[in-house]
Structure 1
């Protein structure tokens, strides 16, 4: 039996990689080209995704959310020069998450998540992992829309495709 939050996080890694590889195929200017969307550029969307992933990793490591949020605010507001820099940054963080997940931590364990926007809440570690996945899915959708607005096709990164690619790789 698989661990659902861990499997979903594998999907998050795969889908983020797939969309960044698609951006890598396009002209370098696409990353910083302005659009009228949720974010001014694809770089801003990627920076936001990374900042939130990083912030929640720090929370999972035991840091209080207000402090982790404060530390990661600059990451949210700073864009990188190239898609290769984003790929590298996400890969390092992915490795950190994977090591944490492989440590056999009980994801049903709770912590008091003191969210400065909505207040404290007892939250299972699994819920945090699933939030990271869901947040990434939402913003990959934004990026797909932004790519289309810029005249480029996106790439399928649905969970369904992940299932089939995972199944095929285990045959």
Structure 2
């Protein structure tokens, strides 16, 4: 199970990197929503990692300097993999969402959500890229594995 989860984080890291790259190559064409969504995608993974580790997290919709995107993505990946390798994935963690509501989920559920959440927003970003005349990236997991 841990190997499969790490594989999914490798997939997430790879396509987040590709999204950052295509956005940076087309900064003059992309809109604010695209910038907001790539930031949100990276912020959310950092937030879920931080909830598991009990650390300070980013804000959900904070805008980071574009030059730091690759570094944030890399750190998110490394932290997520470290969590997978060092944790009992069935362990339940109490946390608060951005509105202060308390929840409890397993580490596996939290990590899988972070992966799924990234996939969802990369799809939105691809739609925005296309609307702005930029060829979207094929980000389906099966294409990654081929």
Range into which the TM-score falls when normalised by the shorter chain: 0.7 to 0.9
Q: 1:119 Cα shift?
A: 4.1
Structure (1 or 2) with the larger CA radius of gyration: 1
Which runs of no fewer than 5 residues in structure 2 stay unpaired?
A: none
Whole-angstrom distance in 2 between the partners of 1:29 and 1:17: 19
Match of 1:97 among 67, 70, 80: 80
Is the deviation greater in 129-138 or in 112-121? Answer: 112-121
User: What SS is found at the alignment partner of 1:154?
Assistant: coil
Whole-angstrom distance in 1 between the partners of 2:103 and 2:61: 24
Task: Count how many residue pairs are aligned between Structure 1 and Structure 2.
Answer: 146
User: What SS is found at the alignment partner of 2:110?
Assistant: helix
User: What SS is found at the alignment partner of 1:54?
Assistant: helix
Whole-angstrom distance in 1 between the partners of 2:23 and 2:97: 33
Instruction: Let me know the Cα RMSD of the aligned residues.
Output: 2.4
Gap change, CA 1:100 and 1:29, over 3 Å in 2: same
Within 5 Å, which residues of 2 pair with 1:1-171?
Answer: 3-24=3-24, 26-30=25-29, 33-34=30-31, 40-63=32-55, 68=56, 71-73=57-59, 76-80=61-65, 82=66, 84-103=67-86, 105-115=87-97, 117=99, 119-164=101-146
Give the alignment's TM-score, normalised by structure 1.
0.72
User: What SS is found at the alignment partner of 2:79?
Assistant: helix
Q: 1:87 Cα shift?
A: 1.6
Whole-angstrom distance in 1 between the partners of 2:126 and 2:98: 30
Paired residues of 1:12 and 1:133 also in contact (CA < 8 A): yes
In structure 2, what is the equivalent of residue 167 of structure 1? Answer: none
Which runs of no fewer than 5 residues in structure 1 stay unpaired?
A: 35-39, 165-171
Q: 1:123 Cα shift?
A: 0.8
